Chain A
Amino acid sequence: MKAIHLRWLVAIGSALGGLAPAAAELSMPPLTIHGALAQAYVRSTGNNYFGSSTGSGSRDLYEVAINGSMPLHPKLLLTGQLMSRQAGSLDDSRIRVDYFQLDYQILTEPSGSFGIRLGKIKNPYGLYNASRDVVFSRPGITMPASVYFTGLGIRDLLFSTEAAHIYGSWQWGQTVSELVLGAAPKFDATSIFVRAFGGAGLEGTRIKARDFYVGQWAQDWGLGRFRTALSYLGARLAVESSDPDAFVPVSGLDADVWVASVQWQNPYSSITAEYVWAPTCSHTVQGDMCGDLDGIYAQYRRILKNNLAGYLRYDLRWLDRNDRSGREYEQETGMPRETRYSRDHVLGLDWKFSPGWGLFGEYHYIVGAAQASPLENQGRELDDRSQMALIMLGYRF
């Protein structure tokens, strides 16, 4: 991984050197710095979310992001963001490079644009993945668990990837089409799985991701009043052992994730709905085991006053779309069926009480336990009913 970072840095350094005279001649805008930080307090009944929230509450949910952008040439933009996020057992506050990319806009016509991006790039997945870890740019304190895989641990795979993307947009009257296609070279995803599942059983093995592709086709209709998008993210994961004679019960996993999104925006309200469908196949010693999960949410948001908005969300997750009630799973495994689905009823408020500042509040009533992480609830049985209240204070600059 380090070698790849170094290669990027060398490439970017060369680009900087070559373009400096051009930048000086064109009086380029300077380096611009922005950022956001937020701290939450979470309390719940039933299951733990974002730390030990069932006791006296958890302050284990915070996020800090600082980003910079610097045009090196009118058509060439360098951007990067450092991020630290704590989320109970699911994120560990380490400082990570969230993105660091060069964007070369080859074609810039009034009716459309076309360009390429290289580096560590946020994956365009659904309407919110690219900016999911900043409370000001997501649909609430929590992301919709069904579509954005919160609590499942593999969300790190969705964040950003060292990749190459091509992108383009075309305007047809009041309609705008945008397309992004990306591919990543083979990379090591072991650390993602160690963080997600604690590393048990992964000793002496590496998990490599290959055939990693992303794509998004988005349409804005009627000057942005109606937005639709179709996103795809696919990867083949291979478990490789350093010991050729080692017993590897699962040798790989193929995953394809599709998201269909619609959003209707009015002056004072918006309705957003997204549906995810993710067929997966595990390669095990007993043969291939395939299944598919899906989920859907709908959110209604209303601006109540200038700086105050409220929202309602209904969020449904099923770990097996052919066994939505979990009954077959319960019969086959003896494990509780409520861990296979969740229905989350969300009521939220956000108040931008001062320039830069935001105070957010959210209440959840959750039936089922598919969005409660086993890591957060070690040593206790998952409850099929939970309530959760969150309050978050954020500042952006």
Chain B
Amino acid sequence: MIKRTAKGALLLFSLLLFPFLARSEGAPKVEIMLNASVAESYLTRDYLRALFTLRTRVWPDGQPVTLYVFPDTAPMHVAFCRDELGTYPYILRSVWDRVLFSGTGVIPYTVESEEEMIRQVLSTPGALGYRAARNDPIELVEPGGME
């Protein structure tokens, strides 16, 4: 009985865990976009997570961070959450809602199109966003290189 329970628990654990690790084929690939005012060297995965979970809102050089994202259900946002942050949109949304309705931070701005994303990131000092990857592997936007 104990063995059967343990096996059941293991199966349940695997079923719950597996989809998190799975990556569907053909999903869009993303690349991070940075405003020219921000040094690329800041961007590590850990720092990206700290920024998008709103634990920090200032770049190491002191300028404010402004984040741009696509809507929660946009395939590009799903891919960004999974590939760059290792999480899923609903988990991120619950963090943002907790921060928004308790006043403990500023949530990202949502944009509807890639054109708007590029325009906002290019024109806002300290901005960070993402778009469909042009090259593989992912490359960062060079300062002033988006024209």
Q: Write out the residue numbers on chain B whose beta carbons fall within 8 Å of the beta carbon of A65.
A: 101
Q: Which of B1-9, B84-92, B129-137, B139-147 contacts A (4 or more CB under 8 A)?
A: B84-92
| A/B interface sample: 28 pairs, CB < 8 A | A26-B64, A29-B64, A29-B66, A29-B106, A69-B106, A71-B64, A71-B106, A101-B103, A103-B104, A105-B58, A108-B57, A108-B60, A110-B44, A110-B47, A122-B104, A130-B101, A131-B97, A131-B100, A131-B101, A133-B101, A137-B94, A169-B55, A176-B49, A223-B86, A223-B87, A225-B20, A266-B17, A267-B19
Contact present for B85 and A34 (CB under 8 Å):
no
Chain A residue with minimal CB distance to B95?
Answer: A224
B63 at interface (Cβ–Cβ under 8 A)? yes
* Bound form: Cα–Cα A111–B47 in Å: 7
Partner among A32, A77, A105, A122 whose Cβ is within 8 Å of the Cβ of B102: A122
Contact present for B106 and A32 (CB under 8 Å):
yes
CB proximity of B59 to chain A, nearest CB, Å: 8
Q: Which 8 A-B pairs have the closest CB atoms?
A: A79-B103, A137-B97, A130-B102, A131-B101, A223-B86, A110-B47, A74-B64, A122-B102
Chain B residue with minimal CB distance to A309?
Answer: B90
Contacts beyond the supplied A28-B64, A77-B106, A137-B98: 16 A-B pairs with Cβ under 8 Å: A26-B63, A26-B64, A29-B106, A67-B101, A74-B62, A110-B50, A110-B56, A130-B101, A131-B98, A137-B94, A176-B53, A178-B55, A225-B20, A266-B20, A267-B19, A307-B73
Q: Write out the residue numbers on chain A whose beta carbons fall within 8 Å of the beta carbon of B62.
A: 74
- CB contact under 8 A between A81 and B20, given known A113-B56, A306-B73: no
A56 at interface (Cβ–Cβ under 8 A)? no
- CB contact under 8 A between A171 and B58, given known A67-B103, A69-B106, A134-B97: no
B contact residues vs A (CB 8 Å cutoff) = 16-17, 19-20, 22, 42, 44, 46-47, 49-50, 53, 55-58, 60, 62-64, 66, 71, 73, 85-88, 90-91, 94-95, 97-98, 100-107, 125
Q: Write out the residue numbers on chain A whose beta carbons fall within 8 Å of the beta carbon of B105.
A: 69, 77, 103
Q: What number of residue pairs across chains A and B have CB atoms under 8 A from each other?
A: 124
Contact present for B58 and A137 (CB under 8 Å):
no
Chain A residue with minimal CB distance to B62?
Answer: A74
A96 at interface (Cβ–Cβ under 8 A)? no
* Bound form: Cα–Cα A266–B60 in Å: 32
A contact residues vs B (CB 8 Å cutoff) = 26-29, 32, 34, 36, 65, 67, 69, 71, 74-75, 77, 79-81, 99-101, 103, 105, 108-111, 113, 117, 122, 128, 130-131, 133-134, 136-137, 169, 171, 174, 176, 178, 223-225, 264-269, 303, 306-307, 355
* Bound form: Cα–Cα A69–B100 in Å: 9
Q: Write out the residue numbers on chain A whose beta carbons fall within 8 Å of the beta carbon of B71.
A: 355
CB proximity of B30 to chain A, nearest CB, Å: 17
Q: Write out the residue numbers on chain B whose beta carbons fall within 8 Å of the beta carbon of A34.
A: 100, 107
* Bound form: Cα–Cα A85–B47 in Å: 38
CB proximity of B37 to chain A, nearest CB, Å: 10
Partner among B17, B42, B55 whose Cβ is within 8 Å of the Cβ of A113: B55
Chain B residue with minimal CB distance to A124?
Answer: B102
